[in-house]
Structure 1
Amino acid sequence: MTHSSSRRRLGRRAALVGGLAVAATALTAPAHAAPSVSDVTLDGPSSVEVGAPVTVTVAATGAVDLYAYDLAVSYDPDLVELVADSAVMPDGGFSDVADDGAGTVAVAHTRLGTSPGLEGDVTLATLTFTAVADGDAPFAVPAATLVGADAATASLTDAASATTTVTAVTTAPPTDDPTDGATSAPPTGDGTTAPGTDDASDSPSTSAGSGSLASTGASVAWFAGAALLAVVVGAGILWARRRAVASR
């Protein structure tokens, strides 16, 4: 939006507010004193991360005969952006919000017909922005015009300000996943792996040539040899007896 179109729109809004206030004058009781407020405040979060919403609220305390108002909210377009259709205004009446995209949001509100002006503590506008870059994001109400039910006006300058610190998104460092299965023990001095690190049992395996089976094999061989020796001896004795008989 160009500056000239922004000025035209602001002019139409001011004319609207003033026109409605003047029209209301003919319908109201005798003239009142000029509208006034005790104070204007602008509140927002002290800090947010990039990508988070930033909601700022412009409020007035001690308002008297506040039939209409027109104010500006300034911001840093490099750090925040206005969320479209996010503005919240007082119930009842007519409101208009225009963002020039260059750092100014113009807000206007007016009561209608014979409605009384706002009194006491009033939330004038709530705007929501999105944080787009890190830094100190300033917000301010550089100017405001108050309009009473009898079209009397009061102007305010540098009415309120606040700052929101926008920080970069913090990312947690990645963590190592726990290892699956058994872990390997460090090698021993001779380059072999220490026992107990593999899934297989560390108990010694039984081989065919060791243990009780080996002893059993040796015993069987000994008995077989003794039996063969007995057969040979017996055969010799038998042969000797036959020779003795034959010699008789």
Structure 2
Amino acid sequence: MDSDPKPSTSPAPNPNPSKPPPSKEQHHRDLLNHIEAYLAKRDGVDKLLKISRYATKLILASSLLQSSNNPALYHRLKSFESSVGVSRKAFRLGKFVQDLNALRASHHHSNRHLLFTLLAYGGEGFYYFVEQFVWLAKSGLIDPKHARAFQKVSAWAELVGYFGSVALKLTDLNIIAEEESCLASSVEISRLRGIGCVEEESRLRKLREKKTMKRLSVIQDLADAVMALDDILDGNGPFSKPVFMASAGLLSALISTHKNWVSC
């Protein structure tokens, strides 16, 4: 006859064991994967080049480096800035297609919204299309004498695109503000009644994050629009100061880099 099994004295296992914190190696792997995903995107590399270019422009325009003090370094930085600008144009080959697809997939609820959509995506798409010819002219395949004319056309298209883009984003911000107000009121009422509102609070937090990103995007578009206007005026505008323009470009680059980093 078998004897009864001896009862175990070991503690019962925890049905919901907590996950151990990620190790430093795992954190580094995740960071490296994020960097890899970021650099795999066309916009990711383009924005890093943009940071490099406008940071160099800012150094050249400021008192940090005088051409008379170190002419060799000054000319190397100038050459680097110019080559990065041409490299960025190469990354835009065919990029106008994404604007065509965005325009085709857009949904407009009013004639004004349709107009802003056409200006935003149409202007930006035409800008990227013309930029291909600017790159070909600067790289020598097309007679360089046409480069200035192409640049003027692309600058106008870019400015029109930014006008439409800012208008669309301001409209979106108004819609987000209304949704945020309604959701915040709902959360406040739930708290007063002692009702749990975890889901609503999460939605409200995400909505506010979306609003912040949209505001940053408007600032980025305005900075880029100022630079486009400066190109149209051939650098003779009242705000056409090298330090100011380089700072605007660097600000735009940092904002777009942050947006791309968060989205990938």
TM-score bracket for this pair, using the shorter chain length: under 0.3
Largest Rg, 1 or 2: 1
What TM-score does the superposition give when structure 2 sets the normalisation length?
Answer: 0.20
What TM-score does the superposition give when structure 1 sets the normalisation length?
Answer: 0.21
